[in-house]
């Protein structure tokens, strides 16, 4: 059986605190069999995957309380826990169930654009590349890193 060892830095005088979540479930952290250095890297603070094609539904997410459908191709992603700043990096994607691409093929070629970014939400927009009009995609993804 492997052991777990916590080792402080001999030169440091700070305190590192590991905080358990507010849960009644058992949670497992599985470490890879390699050295890992978190060295100041940002982390995913919120993500969501949803569809707006035909009918709206959330497929999954983290730190997203809801997505407001403000009309065709216009969405407001609401965070469960506000972020510390609105100066985060965000990625918005849109896609379809297509297995091939043909120009002028509706619902295959989308463009996704991130709008206003706030600490409690962000706006995401989707349009059709053929005619430039707003469009509801089969797949819409939003990811925020800080």
**Model pLDDT, residue 40:** 59
Rounded average pLDDT over 7-32: 85
Is 18 or 49 the better-scoring residue by pLDDT? 49
**Model pLDDT, residue 77:** 98
Query: Sorting pLDDT into bands at 50, 70 and 90, what band is 1?
Result: confident
pLDDT digits (tens, 9 = 90+) for 42-73: 688 999 999 998 889 999 999 999 999 999 99
**Model pLDDT, residue 132:** 82
Euclidean distance between CA atoms 119 and 17, whole angstroms: 25
pLDDT digits (tens, 9 = 90+) for 24-42: 988 888 877 877 766 656 6
The most distant pair of C-alpha atoms in the chain lies apart, rounded to whole Å, by 63
Kindly tell me if the per-residue pLDDT of 104 is higher than 70. Answer: no
Q: What percent of the chain has pLDDT over 70?
A: 89
Domain extent listing, the chain: 44-145
Q: What percent of the chain has pLDDT over 90?
A: 50
């Amino acid at each position: 059986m492997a052991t777990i060892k916590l080792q402080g830095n001999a030169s440091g005088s700070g305190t590192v605190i590991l905080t358990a979540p507010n849960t009644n479930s058992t949670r497992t952290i599985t470490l890879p069999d390699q050295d890992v250095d978190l060295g100041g890297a940002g982390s995913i603070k919120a993500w969501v995957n949803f569809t707006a094609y035909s009918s709206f539904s959330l497929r999954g997410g983290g730190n997203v309380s809801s997505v407001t459908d403000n009309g065709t191709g216009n969405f407001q992603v609401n965070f469960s826990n506000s972020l510390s700043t609105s100066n985060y990096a965000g990625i918005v994607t849109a896609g379809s169930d297509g297995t091939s691409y043909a120009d002028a093929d509706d619902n295959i070629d989308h463009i996704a654009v991130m709008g206003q970014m706030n600490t409690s939400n962000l706006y995401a927009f989707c349009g059709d590349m053929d005619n430039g009009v707003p469009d509801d995609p089969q797949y819409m993804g939003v990811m925020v890193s800080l």
